[in-house]
Amino acid sequence: MTAKLVLENLKHKPMRSLLSILLIGVPVTLILCLVGLSHGFLEDSQRRTRGIGADVVVRPKGTSYLTLSGAPIPQQMVGLLAGHPHVKLAMGVVNYPVQGVTLGATGVDLKQFDQMSGGFTYLHGGPFQGPDDVIIDQFYADEQHAHVGDRISLLNKPWRVCGIIEGGKLAHIVFPLGVLQEKTSSTGNVSQIYLKLDDPANTAAVVQGLKNLLPDYPIFSIAEFTSLINVNNIPALKEFIIVIMAIGVIIGFAVVCLSMYMAVLQRTREIGILKSLGASQFFILRIILTEAVILGIGGTILGIAMSFGAWWLIRTVEPASIPMVIVPSWWPIAGVVTLIGSAFGALYPGISAARHDTIEALAYE
């Protein structure tokens, strides 16, 4: 009976109910989009790293697993590492940010890359034909509406799209190694070196051997390197998500508090009627809290639905630059955060309603 009363109350003012649900849903969408973007970037990075087919990565001195600064490793080291025991193939690449931190290009020796990874899967076109050629993946091609043969502007210069590849390997944008080295003033240097071993079972031994040989260089197995690419290891990202969640709680709290306060004012007389029938303060409080929780659940569901809308929009407009994913494991977290905000938001109006003087409430017009 309580649920029926609450539902009838919600139906009685549908615009208020829908607006409340919408406003509660916005921070849910905000949280889910932020988490989706974080996971999307990291998963995309992990997938492309695994797609290289290497077993070990050698990073420049003084860099973490997330940052790269130019191409400081002498290219001669590629040959040196190629001669290391159990190393079947060594490949140096140059990484260069094209669009801030969200989109990077990689310079690579295609022949070596083909040997290491099995090569790109070309959806259209093929490998480099000349020094002005660029290979892009399908996401970047969709984002730029580019086709094979089109010219796109990158690094302050027009490039001919020679091939469009399936995404998930190395980078969204691929240049010939020498060309990118020259263009970024890093001729003779590489950003990092990938190693393919004769047997992956030798990975730990090779990593240890290389650490002894090159103590100043961060050296990781690819499994370890990709496992380090997670939310907890991105500086301040976790704290940023917590701040956004706190904002979500505050918005949910404020929306529900305002909405329920108005509802309590509008229903003063009805609260008086219920109390005249013998409804306890707890009964009145329970009605208000139940209504807030239903609004919170509605807001959560709408927020999840709107995150799908944001996901679709981002995939349509910026599929390469912003690789957002849907993270269902965060739905209950966003839901709990919202419900906590909603329940706390309803407390003051609920307690206020429960404490209404019955006679005054019955006289309320």
Among 15, 101, 236, 277, binds another protein (CB under 8 A): 277
CB of 293: closest distance to another protein in angstroms?
A: 18
Residue 321's region, left for phi above 0, alpha for psi from -120 to 50, else beta, is alpha
Q: What are phi and psi of 333, to 5 degrees?
A: -65, -50
CB of 361: closest distance to another protein in angstroms?
A: 10
Among 133, 137, 143, 270, binds another protein (CB under 8 A): 270
What are the residues facing 87 on neighbouring strands?
A: 197
CB of 12: closest distance to another protein in angstroms?
A: 5
Does residue 286 belong to the site contacting another protein (CB under 8 A)? Answer: no
The residue among 193, 217, 182 whose CA lies nearest residue 75 is 193
First CA to last CA distance, the chain: 26
Residue 283, C-beta contacts closer than 8 angstroms, at least 6 positions apart: 2, 274
Taking CB under 8 A as the binding criterion, the range among 157-165, 252-260, 280-288, 291-299 that sits at the site for another protein is 280-288
The residue among 163, 226, 158, 218 whose CA lies nearest residue 192 is 218
CB of 288: closest distance to another protein in angstroms?
A: 15
Among 84, 211, 269, 286, binds another protein (CB under 8 A): 269
Does residue 291 belong to the site contacting another protein (CB under 8 A)? Answer: no
Among 89, 154, 173, 279, binds another protein (CB under 8 A): 279
CB of 6: closest distance to another protein in angstroms?
A: 10
Contact 365, 265 (CB under 8 A): no
Among 65, 240, 283, 348, binds another protein (CB under 8 A): 283
Residues 11-70 binding another protein (CB under 8 A) are 11-12
Q: How far is CA 104 from CA 100, 113, 174, 180, 233, in A?
A: 8, 17, 9, 12, 20
Does residue 4 belong to the site contacting another protein (CB under 8 A)? Answer: yes
CB of 302: closest distance to another protein in angstroms?
A: 23
Residues 225-264, one symbol each (x = binds another protein by CB under 8 A, - = not), give: ----------------------------------------
| b (16+ CB within 10 A) / e for 172-194 | bbbbbbebbbebbebeebbbbbb
Does residue 278 belong to the site contacting another protein (CB under 8 A)? Answer: yes
The residues of the shown chain that bind another protein, judged by CB under 8 A, are 1-2, 4-5, 8-9, 11-12, 269-270, 272-281, 283, 358-359, 362
